[in-house]
Amino acid sequence: MKRRLGYLAFLVALLAIVAVSVLQTAWTPAESQQSLKPWVLKGLLALAIGSGTYGVYLLLSAGMGRLVHDRRRRHDLRNVVRLVLVIAAIIAVAGVLTDQWLGVLFSLGIVGFGVTVALQQPLTSLLGWVYILSMRPYQVGDRIRIEDAKGDVIDVDFLVTTLWEVEGDLVSSHQPSGRTVTVPNSLILTSEVFNYSRDDFPFVWSEVSMQVSYETDLDFARSVMRAVADEQLGDEMERNVATYREQLAETPVDLEVQDRPSVNVAQGETWVELRLRFLTRPRQIQRTKNALYEEILARFQANPDKVAFPVGRFR
């Protein structure tokens, strides 16, 4: 479809150029309309430039769809091409309409200075977009958090990043809310960015908490939680932690990372909290928590002589 539209745009540009050639020699307007001819010719040339530029963009986009298989890089490359072509087309049209190419470039410099002063925020966002493309703190498809906005990146435009919101004030438990959030790219230069799903290690640690009474056999309860997590996640977690350790070895950070699920203990007012720590993908956190919690609870309930749950108004 894009290729057909691209060829159609080129055809319009070609027809406009042919019309300019024909009218320039064959059209002799009346004396009262002499001033009209230059503007008609310039308008046709501007149409040819605009249509031709649009055709180039469509054909390049179609070519990128076949040659660039990574949809994230294809998205970024398409934005860069679009920006370059728009700037080139604006300069070309301005030059055609004024017949003063050097004057246009000089005027653009003066106007650019004024725009820089008047539109600092949009220009900072544009600079943020350049930073995102070059340093890649995140890209399309990543799950990120910037300030109070958290979600999956669906678009990185020149000025804003658009997220499919996760959690927010409508839902909890790492679930999508159905809303989109628009974040200025300028925030990348002034705020912390949390990326939950980077390409080289798309995993995060999470926890499932279980509250038991002080009468519980803690060794038994912890072994049950570890066993359940090992059955569901153990082997995959071990492989992924090995990758993480390789990356960690390339940094000056000395950090001990367990390659199997572990259970930590925290003291509550009238209960003991057992926190099962495990590794999973960001978009599978809640699903994994549900599966672990249901199985752990079933095994605890099957052993009432070893596991007791706290009761009372403080729970």
| Residues 221 and 292 occupy one common structural domain | yes
Same domain, 166 and 234: no
Give the Cβ contact number of residue 34 at 10 Å.
10
Contacts of 301 (CB under 8 A, 6+ apart): 307
Residue 16: inside a domain, yes or no? yes
Q: Are residues 246 and 170 in the same domain?
A: no
| Residue 314 within any structural domain of the chain | no
Same domain, 113 and 24: yes
* Structural domain ending residue among the three candidates 68, 84, 118: 118
Q: Which pLDDT value is given to residue 312?
A: 61
Alpha helices in 99-234 (DSSP H): 101-118, 120-135, 218-229
- Position 51 in a domain: yes
Q: Which of 135, 185, 193, 179 has the alpha carbon at shortest distance from 157?
A: 185
How many other CB atoms sit within 10 Å of the CB of residue 278? 24
60 in any annotated domain: yes
Do 152 and 216 belong to one domain?
no
6 and 108 co-located in one domain: yes
- Give the model's pLDDT for residue 32: 61
Find the domain containing 157 and state its range: 137-195
146 and 51, same structural domain? no
Same domain, yes or no, for 188 and 208?
A: no
Question: Considering its fold, how many domains does the chain have in total?
Answer: 3
State whether 108 and 21 are in the same domain: yes
Q: Is residue 311 part of a domain?
A: no
CA distance 48 to 20: 10
CA angle 264, 142, 160 (to 5 degrees): 130
How far, in Å, CA of 170 to CA of 141, rounded? 22
End residue of a domain, out of 195, 213, 233: 195
> What pTM does this model have?
0.65
Q: Are residues 46 and 25 in the same domain?
A: yes
- Residue 112: inside a domain: yes
Place of tokens 């398409």: 78
Domain containing 167 — which CATH number? 2.30.30.60
Q: Are residues 191 and 209 in the same domain?
A: no
Tell whether 123 is covered by a domain.
no
CATH number of domain containing 292: 3.30.70.100
Provide the CB-side half-sphere exposure for 205 (13 A, CA). Answer: 14
In this structure, the number of other CB atoms found within 10 A of the CB of residue 96 comes to 18
For 170, phi and psi rounded to 5 degrees?
-100, -40
In a domain, 108, yes or no: yes
Residue by residue, pLDDT tens for the chain (315 residues) are 667 787 788 788 788 878 877 777 777 666 666 667 777 777 888 888 888 888 888 888 777 777 777 666 777 777 778 778 887 887 777 777 766 555 555 555 545 545 554 456 778 888 898 899 888 899 898 999 999 899 999 999 888 999 999 988 888 777 889 999 999 999 998 899 999 988 788 899 999 999 999 999 999 999 999 999 999 998 999 999 999 888 888 888 788 888 999 999 998 888 999 999 999 999 899 999 999 999 999 999 999 999 999 876 454
What gap in Å lies between CA 241 and CA 245, rounded to an integer?
Answer: 6
Residues 7 and 113 in one domain: yes
Closest CA to 5 of 74, 67, 54: 54
Q: What is the DSSP letter of 200?
A: T
